[in-house]
Structure 1
Amino acid sequence: MDSTSLDRLTTQIMSAAIAPDRWQAVIEEISRALPGTMPHLYGVDLDGRRGPFTLVTEHDPYWVDLYERHFAALNVWGPRLAQAPAGTVMRSSEMCPEHKLLGTEFYADWVRPQGDARGGGGAVIAQTEGATLLLGGSITQARRDTLEPAWMSLLHRLLPSLRQAWQVNRRLAEASIESAGTAVAEGKSAAICVIDPDEHILFANAEAERLLAAGSPIRRDMRNRLRCAARPPGSPLPMAPGLAGTMLRDAQGARWQVWTGDLAPDVLDDWHAALTLGLDGPRRLFVLAPMATSPDLVARLQATLGLTQAEAEITLALTEGHLVEEIAQDRGVSVHTVRNQIKTAVGRCGLRRQLDLAVCAARLCSASVSG
C-alpha cells in the first residue's frame, strides 16, 4: 500500500475516534485500499462467539444476516483470537488449523459457499469486561497467496491507530454514563456503576472504584459482581423497575441514597458505545450517593413535608426498605399505629400511596457533598 492510501486510512480512523458512526466508512476505505479482503469489524462476547454487531463490506447481506442469526455461535476463528491480548495480529490458520476447520459446519455451510474464503486473518483492537473488538479480513483460497501477506502487513500498520481511536471512543462512552448517573443523583458527586442482569460490574466510575476498594458500602466479589455491604450475603441488590430510589445503611451507620434502573437507550444510543464498554444487552444503572445523618434527615422531613417527628422517623425507615412490621417492632407500637401514621403522612404530603411517600422522602434526604 502506498503512503497516500495509508494516510487516507489513518485520517478516517482518527475521524471515527470522535465520531464513532464513521467506523463503517473506515471499513469501506480499507476495502478500497486492499480489494478482495472482505474486511469486517465485529464484537464477540467472552467465549469469542456471539457479539453485539458486525460492520462489513464486500459481504453479501444474505450471508451477513445468516452469520448473525446462526453462524456466529459456530465461528471457529473467533474464540482463539478473542482470547489473545489486545494488539495481537493472527492469521486465520493460526486461529484454527485448516484440518480442523474443514470438518466444521461453519466451513461447510458458511465459509466455502462464499468462495472458500478461509484465508486472511484478524487483529484484537480492544478488550472490555464483557466483549472483545476485532478487525478481520476473509480472503478466498484462489487469492490467498497474493493477498494474505499484504493484509497481514496492513493489520500491523493500522493497529496502533485503531487502538488509539477506540480508546477515545471509550472515554466518550464513559463520559456519557457519568453524565447520566450525575443527572440521576441531581448533580451530586456519586458512585456510578453499570451492571448486567447477573450483577456483574461492567463499568464503575472513579468514586465507585474508591468505594469498591474500601469494601463499604459496596464491594465486588470474586466473580466481579456488585455487592452491598449492608445486605445479607446472597440477597439481591436494591433493584426496582424503572428508575427508583431507595436507601441503605453501611456498617458504620452512615446512610446512602441508591438509585437503580434500566440504562436508558439514549445514554448509549450507538452500537460503538455499547461495545466499547461491553454493554450490549439489558443493563442496569446503579447510582450511590451519601446522605445526611439521621437527626438531620428527620428534621429535614419535618420541615419540608410538615410531618411530626414520629411520622418523619417512620417515613425515613420506609425509605431504608424496612417493612411496616419491622418499624412497629422497633418502635414498640402496633402495626395498626404505624399504618395510621403512614396514612396521615401520605395525606399531609398530598400523595396517594406509601411508595410515593418513600420516593419523595428519599429525594429530599439526598445529601449534596457540598452540604
Structure 2
Amino acid sequence: MRAIMASREKRLSSEIADLAAVINTAACDVNRWSDVARAVQDFIPGSKILFQVVEEESTAVHQVVHSGFNNKTIQAYGDYYWKVNPWTKGANEMHMSSFKSSSDLYPEKLLWQTEFFTDFVDHERECDAATALKFAAHKERYALLAVHHDFRHHQQMHARGKALLQTLVPALRSALEVNRLTNPTFHLSGGRGLIDQLVDPAIVLDPDCRLLASNAPANKLLADARVLRVKARDIVEMRNVQASAAFARLVRDSCAILQDRARPNDLIVNARSGSYTVTCVPMAIDQTNALPAGLLSIFAPRTVAMVIVRPHAPEDRSALIGELRLHFGLTKAEVSLILEFERGGTLSEIAERVGVSRSTIQTHLKAIFAKTGTTRQRDVVTLVTRHRALRKQFFLEDS
C-alpha cells in the first residue's frame, strides 16, 4: 500500500512539474496561455477551464482564455452574458490568492432561476459548478481562473481543483509579471499608425509613464537620452528629479482628462541640444478591440497619453494675445494694453506710446479690471506673469 501511495505521489509531482513548465512557457509568450488552460483541463478530467480578466466595475468584458468550452458559448459570454453573471459579485469580494466554490459565490437554488443559468450555462452542460481562484490584480482589474465541472460531482472536483491550484498560484502570478516585462508594446487601435505618421518624436505612455509605443524619431530621442530616457520596467523619465516629477504629473493628468479635468499645460525643457516643448494628448483605448493578447489585458490602461516633443520656439506675441483673450474674454485692444503695462509707465505715457487718448486708456482699464477681477495695474501684470509661468521650464544638465 505504501508503495502504491509513493508511486501516486511521485506521478502527481511529475504532472505538477510538467504543468509548471507549461506556465513558464506562457510567461515568455502571452499566446501560450491557451496551452496552460488545456494542461489544467488534462490534469482535472471532466473539467472546463476559463481564465478571465475581470473589471470590478464591470464596464467592459476582457479577453478570456479557455479550454473545453464551445467557442459559441465563449462568444455569447463576451457579447452579453458576462453582464448578468451572478458569480461576479462574489468573485469581486474574494481576497487575493483565495479560493471559493461556486456555491460560496452564489447559491445554486438562486443560480438555477437566473437567465444566466437557463439561457447560457445549462446549454453548455457539465459546467454548472466551479472552483475559482483569484491569482493576480492590477488597479481595478484582477485575473481569475475558474475550473468548471458538473454540479453532481462538485465536492470531489472542488477538492481536486483546489489542491492543484494551491501549488500553482506563485507560478501563475510570476508568469503574468514576466508577460508584462517582456511585452512593452500593447496593440493600440489607431494609435500605432497615428504616431508613425508624426514627424516629431512621439511616444505613447500609460498613466505610470510606462512606454507602450514610440515612432522612429522618438526612438532616436530616447537613445540619445538627453531629454527623455527609458529606465527599469520601461518607465520614461527626464534627466533631473524636478523635471521628472513634473513630467509624471503631466502624463498622469493627461490620462485623467476624461474624468472632467482640463488638459494640462505643456512643459518646456532646455538641454544642450536645444529647447523643447513637451505636449501630452489623451487617447482613450477601446477596451474590447485594442487589448493585448490573453491575460496581459489585466495591465491595459483605459486611457493613455501620447507625448509629442517639438523644438521650442521663442514666445509668440500673437499666441499669447490669443490665449489671454480666450482665458479672460478680453478684446484684442485690451490685451495689447495689458502688455504695455508690463513695459511700465504712467497712463499718460502709455497713451502716448499707443497713440490714443488717456481717457481711452482709462475706459479699457475699467473693462480689464472687471473681466480679470483685479483693481490695480500691478495685479493685471501679475496675472500675465502667472499665465506665462503655467508653462513650466526645466533645465536638464548633461551628465
Instruction: Place the TM-score, normalised by the shorter chain, in its bin.
Output: 0.5 to 0.7
4-13 or 324-333: bigger deviation? 324-333
Residues 123 and 136 in structure 1, CA contact (< 8 A), matched pair in contact too: yes
What is the deviation of 1:145?
3.8
What is the one-letter code of the residue matched to 1:107? F
What is the deviation of 1:70?
1.0
Unpaired runs of 5+ in structure 2? Answer: 1-10, 187-204, 270-274, 327-331, 341-353, 355-392
Residues 190 and 288 in structure 1, CA contact (< 8 A), matched pair in contact too: no
1:350-365 paired onto structure 2 within 5 Å: none
Please give the per-residue CA displacement for 1:144-186, whole angstroms capped at 9, x wherever unaligned. 2432211121111211110111111122345775444676753
Residues 147 and 161 in structure 2, CA contact (< 8 A), matched pair in contact too: yes
Q: Give the 3 Å change call, closer, same or farther, for CA 212–116 of structure 1 in structure 2.
A: farther
Report the identity percentage. 17
Partner Cα distance (1:135, 1:328) in 2: 65
1:215-234 paired onto structure 2 within 5 Å: 216=246, 219=249, 226-227=252-253
Partner Cα distance (2:97, 2:242) in 1: 32
Matched, 1:271 2:293: yes
Q: Give the 3 Å change call, closer, same or farther, for CA 287–211 of structure 1 in structure 2.
A: farther
Residues 16 and 165 in structure 1, CA contact (< 8 A), matched pair in contact too: yes
In structure 1, the residue matched to 2:316 is 314
Name the TM-score, length of structure 1 as normaliser.
0.63
Aligned pair partner of 2:150 in 125, 140, 144: 140
Matched, 1:91 2:101: yes
Matched, 1:122 2:150: no
Partner Cα distance (1:272, 1:322) in 2: 49
Higher gyration radius (CA): 2
In structure 1, the residue matched to 2:178 is 168
Residues 191 and 204 in structure 1, CA contact (< 8 A), matched pair in contact too: no
In structure 1, the residue matched to 2:53 is 43
Partner Cα distance (1:58, 1:234) in 2: 44
Q: Give the 3 Å change call, closer, same or farther, for CA 127–235 of structure 1 in structure 2.
A: closer
What is the deviation of 1:32?
1.4
Corresponding pairs, count: 289
1:2-41 paired onto structure 2 within 5 Å: 2-41=12-51
Residues 170 and 273 in structure 1, CA contact (< 8 A), matched pair in contact too: no
60-69 or 146-155: bigger deviation? 146-155
Partner Cα distance (1:137, 1:212) in 2: 49
Aligned pair partner of 2:83 in 62, 73, 88: 73
Residues 39 and 136 in structure 1, CA contact (< 8 A), matched pair in contact too: yes
Aligned pair partner of 1:247 in 262, 266, 277: 266
Q: Give the 3 Å change call, closer, same or farther, for CA 234–9 of structure 1 in structure 2.
A: closer
- Give the structure with the larger helix fraction: 2
In structure 1, the residue matched to 2:305 is 285
RMSD of the TM alignment (CA)? 4.5
Q: Give the 3 Å change call, closer, same or farther, for CA 256–135 of structure 1 in structure 2.
A: same
Matched, 1:370 2:372: no
Task: Provide the secondary structure at the position in 2 that maps to 1:3.
Answer: helix
Partner Cα distance (1:20, 1:274) in 2: 7
Matched, 1:260 2:281: yes
Residues 131 and 147 in structure 2, CA contact (< 8 A), matched pair in contact too: yes
What is the deviation of 1:40?
0.9
Please give the per-residue CA displacement for 1:263-313, whole angstroms capped at 9, x wherever unaligned. 899xx873247513143xx63224488x99xxxx6xxx4xxxxxxxxxx42
Residues 31 and 37 in structure 1, CA contact (< 8 A), matched pair in contact too: yes
Aligned pair partner of 2:262 in 233, 236, 254: 236
